[in-house]
Structure 1
Amino acid sequence: MNNRLASVLCAVLALAACRKGEKSGPVVAEVGGEKITVDEVRQRLNETSPFLRARYNTVERKKEFLENMVRNELLAQEAIRQGYDKSPAVREQTKRAMIQELIKHQLDSKLAGIDIPEEELKKFYDAHLDDFVKPERARVFHILLPAKDARERAEAKKKAAVLLKDIDAREKKGEVNAFQGAAIKESKDAPSAPLGGDLRFLSKDELTRAYNAELANAAFELKNPGDKTQPFDTPAGVELVKLQVKTVAMNRSFEESKEPIRQRMARERRSRDYDEWVKKLRENTKVAIHEQELEKVQVDAAPSPQQPAGISSAHPQALPPVAPVSPSGQKAPPTAASKIGGN
């Protein structure tokens, strides 16, 4: 789509928006039979970013902004004279703009979630406590050399010391997986040995329950990624442990989590309401899908990534789907967003 047509489309949509309802209030400009009011100028200014808005603090700057609105009005009126308001491209854009307005007024009025009572927020917090309170977790590798008595334990410690010395030497030469390689060959812990001794991410309590307190204590005493223990005793034998990484513990109280919970619950409610609303609309409207005709739809191949700069595709670009309106910084629910303006 060339720049001229794009400008015409935007202007026609702007004119359609201005003509939605009765205009009232002081008039700052007249263009043909259309009036631009103080409220319209204020609304357009408020739609700009705060940084840009700060520029328009003098009459000269405000007049500059108004001139842009006048230009858009001129373009819109000329576009209608030339019949662009009846073109499929403009009608499609208008349809999407109407969907945006419909969604905003039908669903987004409750998106802030201010109507959700505090007891519901607390119930959500309690039901999803793992999202807000997480213990410190560590991912460690270990090598187990089993020992049943004092003699076997002494031999296992000697072997572990030799293994540790060899691992250190290989790591200094750049072999970053030396510990894992040794675990595969030497560790007798059947579940983890084939994985290079990897115990995955576990909290201290989880590691204690899965193995033993000695292993958990040794693992969580390590501070930095890559740190290793000296050989140490556990009920199962003698072990070596290497720290891969630790995650920071999180303990967010209900008061700290209240507003994020409110926003999350409001978004989830909006998504449910959208699905139920569209379902009812479909139930009350005759909808027929003709799959035989659908099969005949040919999809153009994607343009070559090697296309030289300055040469445009032979096919006009498809208009992007319109995302639903949502508060600044908040993404709209994927369930609703994937459908709005697309089907």
Structure 2
Amino acid sequence: MKDIVVSTLTIVLLVFVLSLQLLSGGGESPAPIPAEQVRTLAAALDSQGLHKQAVAEFRRYLDIARIPPQQRANILYHIGTTYLDQLEDYENALAAFIELSHLYPTSPVTRDAEKRMIKCYEGMRRGFDAQKKLRQLTDLEPDAEPQGEGPVVAQIGDRKITLDQIERDLEQKGEYYQKNFATPEKKLEYLKTMIFTDLLADAARRKEYNRDAEIRRQVRNFEKEILAAKVYNEEVRQKIETKPDDLELYYKAHQSEFVESKTVTVAHIQVDSQERAAEVKKALDEGMAFDEAAAQYSMDARTKNNGGMLGAVQGGRNFIPGVGQSPDLAAKLLALEKDAISEPLQSPNGYHLFRALEIKPEKQLSLQEARPRVEALVNQMKEQALQKELLERMMQAEKVNIFDDVLKRELPSTTQPSSPAGDL
């Protein structure tokens, strides 16, 4: 409160002094007002929130004062920031910053003034100029990425997007994207997504989100992963050499792993009670066709008009299509003979009568039949060996030390202490 009273008195006294100076001259021209008094008045007006009047006085001060260039630059910067932050007058703020940039290009405040021009352009809805200014400040070339040779399909300001860039972008994202964005209509859809992403990224840079510590950390981590993957491919994956003899040796040593399990293709009739299942079983035993019984009695709307077809039950998987996981039920179905009909069997869905439509016995796969899987396993084994060798070599070369004792000391143990006998 005391500061407000003092500032108000200062303004009143300054106005009074200026009035006396005007009156004392009589018919003569008024005496020049000392520049320092004008500066003090401007500062007092500013402190009272009279920013528009303060800017006018700071301008008058610049017109009459003989001050060093750096001080003039600082006042221009203050005028610009007042227009921008206090008055939200983007045009006058921009004018002040441009004046500062042109008249005092080497001033320490000029760089920040040029950054604030971006906010002025944004406030004036001149996004293109804002992006252009950002590129000037960051030396960011929009076409730093190699431009494709194909036709230009879009343009963002002076930045061009070619058909080749779309194809390259899709290729980097993998086969799924290439297949799903193959048609002209889908490529147009993807192009709009690319443009939207670019515009959002441009807006983020203008807001200087790229200077945010957390975002920069994430970018560094992402860059680190890409670089690490590049070296890993060169030092590990590209050095994997698998010969036919390697596949044959592995196959012979692990032949029991390459067995095709027995499968039974089944159909079913589902009812709501054991009694109902017994009635249907009796009808089947008396000669009723399974397809006919399924259509007449089954509660499974998905299969009743298709002969009750469920699908294959495979040994070792314990999964029955349309029913779910059930080791006991799977074992009983795998034991059925071809065309045999089971006794009523219970599941969470109700009671079932199953029929074995087709049986494929267990089969030992030949090397040729198992080759894709054998090759994948051999490559995986060799990759792990090369990875271990590379890690050990790099850790030794870089003098890496892992302080596992610190980890054990600082992190709580996950093992629970055994209970004393007296607690039982």
| Superposed pair shares fold, TM > 0.5 | no
TM-score (norm 1): 0.40
Tell me: higher relative CO, structure 1 or 2? Use CA pairs within 8 A at least 6 residues apart. 1
